[in-house]
Chains A and B, each alone.
Chain A
Amino acid sequence: GAGVSQSPRYKVAKRGQDVALRCDPISGHVSLFWYQQALGQGPEFLTYFQNEAQLDKSGLPSDRFFAERPEGSVSTLKIQRTQQEDSAVYLCASSPLAGGSFEQYFGPGTRLTVT
């Protein structure tokens, strides 16, 4: 079956632009996570949704970052007024059960480059 998909795969933004990154989780998966992965680093937790509820957003680095999952399926990570330090791969992962203690299925990521 289809895995987690993300779009766009690559995004180049000028500093100050707003961007929106999309995640399509595996159908029926309850949990959805967003991570930021800088080059040569591990994924850093950004936020977690259980269905449409955003239960944890403690990893969002600033109020320029906003995520939503209004119908408990597709999620969008929005970054306003992008800065160079926002350049990274943004990974989305989903899991069939609630919580972070089960296998997460990762998408291919969106590589964001802010120039």
Chain B
Amino acid sequence: GENVEQHPSTLSVQEGDSAVIKCTYSDSASNYFPWYKQELGKRPQLIIDIRSNVGEKKDQRIAVTLNKTAKHFSLHITETQPEDSAVYFCAASRSGNRDDKIIFGKGTRLHILP
């Protein structure tokens, strides 16, 4: 079945440095790739998403890149701040079909070190 692999499971970076989280997906028909941030005890919230017709998208300190040929996509956070500490989930889905499920990765726990 469809699968999304996410790495690393835990990531610690110094405040101000960059963080990169990588995901691969198995369903070549996937065409929508969101990233969610989940703070401890809170609900997941969308931080950025990308569709298959673009290779890169940026929103302030956050950027996502997509390589459809290799079936992988990455989240880049620059100039990290303490409030970036959270669990980040990548996900993949395909639209245009009745079974529009979304498959999440297992998450990356990001620690921003002071």
Listed in ascending order, the chain A residues whose CB lies under 8 Å from chain B are: 4, 31, 33, 35, 40-45, 48, 50, 55-56, 58-59, 91, 98-104, 106-109
Across the interface, do A101 and B103 meet the contact criterion of CB distance under 8 Å? no
A31 to B93, CA, bound (A): 14
Which candidate, B11-19, B42-50, B56-64, B72-80, is the interface stretch facing chain A? B42-50
Taking CB atoms, residues of chain A closer than 8 Å to B36 are 106
Which of A31, A48, A59, A101 has most chain B Cβ within 10 Å? Answer: A101
Q: Determine the residue in chain B with the shortest Cβ distance to A41.
A: B106
A10 to B85, CA, bound (A): 25
Cβ-neighbour of B32 out of A43, A56, A100, A108 (below 8 A): A100
Across the interface, do A91 and B44 meet the contact criterion of CB distance under 8 Å? yes
Taking CB atoms, residues of chain B closer than 8 Å to A100 are 32, 93-95, 100-102
Taking CB atoms, residues of chain A closer than 8 Å to B99 are 48, 55-56, 58
Count A-B contacts at CB 8 Å: 75
A106 to B41, CA, bound (A): 13
* CB of A111, distance to nearest CB on chain B (Å): 10
Across the interface, do B95 and A101 meet the contact criterion of CB distance under 8 Å? yes
A106 to B91, CA, bound (A): 14
Q: Determine the residue in chain A with the shortest Cβ distance to B93.
A: A100
A31 to B42, CA, bound (A): 21
Given A41-B107, A99-B97, A100-B93, 11 more A-B residue pairs with CB atoms under 8 Å apart are A4-B43, A42-B105, A42-B106, A42-B107, A58-B99, A59-B101, A99-B93, A100-B32, A102-B32, A107-B43, A109-B43
A98 to B96, CA, bound (A): 9
* CB of A31, distance to nearest CB on chain B (Å): 8
Taking CB atoms, residues of chain A closer than 8 Å to B101 are 33, 45, 48, 56, 58-59, 100
Across the interface, do A103 and B34 meet the contact criterion of CB distance under 8 Å? yes
Taking CB atoms, residues of chain B closer than 8 Å to A59 are 101
